[in-house]
């Protein structure tokens, strides 16, 4: 019962599972024609021929190699899924950081806009205050000029006005 002895099981399995791929073919219940036991079992009966018992260590070694290969493949698959999960978490964290950063920037811009609006309002108030003061100064100057024009001037006042006016 060497490696070639299971070929009839593979043929029967492949004929019986049309369109089914993957593991399904490995578990199809095919029976060995001589021993009437399921193919793929690793038990060797007492009535097994001598070449089957002799090839048992080889089969056990192959079985062990297959198990190790499947375990490595499963470990690689778990590691790959873990890497993908870590990458997804890292991407989500980066997106969250970017969103927080964008929110902070928007908040800072809103504060700056409010401050700019406040400064514009203050600038407008200061401009109005300056205009009001300028108008009052002009009114006071006109009133002073009218008072000076209505008063008779003495020679000393004329000297003072001429000194102030020429300075």
pLDDT given at position 5: 55
Would residue 45 count as lying in a domain? yes
Would residue 7 count as lying in a domain? yes
**Residue numbers of the domain that contains 57:** 3-73
Spatial separation of the C-alpha atoms in residues 80 and 4, rounded to whole Å: 36
Q: Contact at 8 Å (CB) between 39 and 31?
A: yes
Print burial letters for 63-94: b (CB count within 10 Å at least 16), e (below 16).
eeeeeeeeeeeeeeeeeeeeeeeeeeeeeeee
pLDDT given at position 57: 86
pLDDT given at position 6: 53
Number of C-alpha atoms within 13 angstroms, CB side, residue 59? 17
Would residue 18 count as lying in a domain? yes
Would residue 142 count as lying in a domain? no
Would residue 43 count as lying in a domain? yes
DSSP structure string for 131-152:
HHHHHHHHHHHHHHHHHHHHSP
Provide the mean pLDDT of the chain. Answer: 76
Percent of the chain with pLDDT over 90: 43
Would residue 153 count as lying in a domain? no
What domain count does the chain have?
A: 1
pLDDT given at position 11: 52
Would residue 83 count as lying in a domain? no
Which pLDDT tens digit goes with each residue over 119-136?
A: 999 999 999 999 999 999
Which pLDDT tens digit goes with each residue over 1-45?
A: 555 555 555 554 444 444 444 444 444 445 455 444 555 544 444
Question: Where does 90-134 show beta strands of DSSP type E?
Answer: none
Would residue 13 count as lying in a domain? yes
């Amino acid at each position: 019962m060497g490696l070639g002895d299971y070929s009839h099981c593979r043929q029967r399995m492949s004929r019986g599972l049309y369109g089914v791929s993957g593991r399904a073919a490995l578990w199809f219940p095919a029976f060995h024609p001589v021993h009437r036991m399921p193919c793929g079992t690793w038990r060797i009966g007492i009535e097994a021929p001598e070449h089957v018992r002799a090839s048992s260590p080889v089969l056990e070694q192959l079985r062990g190699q297959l198990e190790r290969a499947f375990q490595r493949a499963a470990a690689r698959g778990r590691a790959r899924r873990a890497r993908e999960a870590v990458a997804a978490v890292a991407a989500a964290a980066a997106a969250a950081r970017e969103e927080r950063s964008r929110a902070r920037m928007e908040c800072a811009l809103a504060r700056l806009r409010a401050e700019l609006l406040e400064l514009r309002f203050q600038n407008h108030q200061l401009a109005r205050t300056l205009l009001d003061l300028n108008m009052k100064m002009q009114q006071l100057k006109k009133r002073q000029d009218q008072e000076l024009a209505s008063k008779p001037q003495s020679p000393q006042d004329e000297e003072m006005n001429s000194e102030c006016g020429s300075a």
